[in-house]
Amino acid sequence: MAVADPDLALLCQGAYIKLSKRWAQTITETYSITVRSDRSVSQNGTIGAELSGSLEAEADTDTWEQDSRFTGLSVGAAAAPNGDWSKDAVTGEADGRAALESALETLQARARASIAASHRHNYVSWQVPLSAQIDRHQTGELSTPGLTAKGKVFQVVHSGDIGTGEAVTDITIALSRTGGTGANNDDLPQAPPAPDTEADPAANQGSRTDRGQCRDAHRWHPGSAAVQ
């Protein structure tokens, strides 16, 4: 009568093992945006200027990288063609994607304001009896047989002469040469779409550098850390 070997129950005849590695990676996105008033350029020529800004998203990735526990893919992780999974490390309003889009739109709005201000570098001045109620937040209008002008008050100077008794107010308004010609056809400021960080870096303005290839690994975009 054969006696079963108790160690046989401990033998492994087959196994399925899945290895996973996680890492964090910084990705820098660079955008070049041109804000232009075509009709204004055709009327007045080009005056170039540059605005720049930056946003840095910081995340503590050391703990995440060193965590050896793997319980499955994190919520929101996206699959890449090579089998990797990734997720943004930072998604807050102050430093995530929404913050970047807001910053890009703000820079565009500043550029638009700068262009509009350049249109108002034209001035008309006149003098009236002392009018202390006139201030720079108001709009001034002048109508004469040879000139009609209306614009935001740029400068107000009140002056008086004790000797002569003269008291006058000098008013200067700023005028836009593009006026009603429609030179400011505005498009609403809009942030460009996020680059595809899984695609060839040459295909978009965002860039990435892989630190390795490993299935079920993680990387984080400029403000994102992935958990997997």
> In this structure, how many other beta carbons lie within 10 angstroms of the beta carbon of residue 86?
25
SS3 55: coil
What percent of the chain has pLDDT above 90?
21
- For residue 171, what pLDDT is reported? 96
pLDDT tens, 18-54?
777 778 888 888 888 888 888 777 777 787 888 888 8
Domain ranges of the chain: 20-120+214-228, 123-175
Q: Which two tokens stand for residue 161?
A: 């002469």
Taking the alpha carbons at both ends of the chain, their separation in whole angstroms is 53
Tokens 């889009």 -> residue: 101
> In this structure, how many other beta carbons lie within 10 angstroms of the beta carbon of residue 114?
13
pLDDT tens, 137-181?
999 999 999 889 999 899 999 999 999 999 999 999 998 766 544
SS3 180: helix
- For residue 3, what pLDDT is reported? 55
Whole-number average pLDDT of the chain: 75
- For residue 169, what pLDDT is reported? 96
